[in-house]
Amino acid sequence: MKAIILYASTHHGNTKRLAECMAEYIGADLADLTREDAPDTSGYDIIGLASGIYHQSFHEAIRSYVNDTTFAPHQRVFLADTCGTSFRDYTRSMRKLLMEKGVCWAGSFQCTGYDTYGLFGKIGGIAKGHPNEKDLQRSRDFVRRITRE
């Protein structure tokens, strides 16, 4: 099983930390789509797409990647995000787009991450200290499950 995690993390490094943890645990390659062009993913069995949440959606670099990519039938894709508040599933629209493209969706993972956007910045931010070790352990458990299937 060959895996890669493509991520976008622009503010506090929450998603970068999450993506690095997951990649290290399963031995996946890693690419920051905000700093480099998307690599050729045709040789990968599992593709992770990780993003901070920006205006209730995945980062534009991740959305563009999904729109511009033709996935192979054997490839499985998982989603991961960090967000200030996790009261809703922010992966829903990306999941829908992937399914419309006929992509085999492997699952999704979401955890809180330190957020100082907008009004949250005026109060010192929310979800301070996240993702924490408990969040990172949950992410390891998640990628272990999906890479065994």
Query: How is residue 2 written in tokens?
Result: 């060959």
**Structure confidence at residue 137 (pLDDT):** 94
Query: How is residue 78 written in tokens?
Result: 């998982």
**Structure confidence at residue 130 (pLDDT):** 65
**Structure confidence at residue 89 (pLDDT):** 83
| Crossing angle between the packed helical segments 133-148 and 14-26, to the nearest 10 degrees | 40
83 burial (CB, 10 Å; 0-12 / 13-18 / 19+) is buried
Cα–Cα distance, 102 to 8 (Å, whole number) = 23
The angle at the Cα of 21, spanning 87 to 19, to the nearest 5 degrees, equals 60
Query: How is residue 89 written in tokens?
Result: 């599933």
Domain count, the chain: 1
The number of angstroms, rounded, from the C-alpha of 87 to the middle of its chain's C-alpha atoms is 17
**Structure confidence at residue 119 (pLDDT):** 53
- Segments forming the whole domain that contains residue 107: 3-148
**Structure confidence at residue 126 (pLDDT):** 47
In which residue ranges of the chain is pLDDT below 50?
121-123, 126
CATH code where residue 50 lies: 3.40.50.360
| Contact status, residue 69 vs residue 37, Cβ threshold 8 Å | no
105 burial (CB, 10 Å; 0-12 / 13-18 / 19+) is middle
146's enclosing H/E stretch is helix 133-148
Note if the pTM is more than 0.75: yes
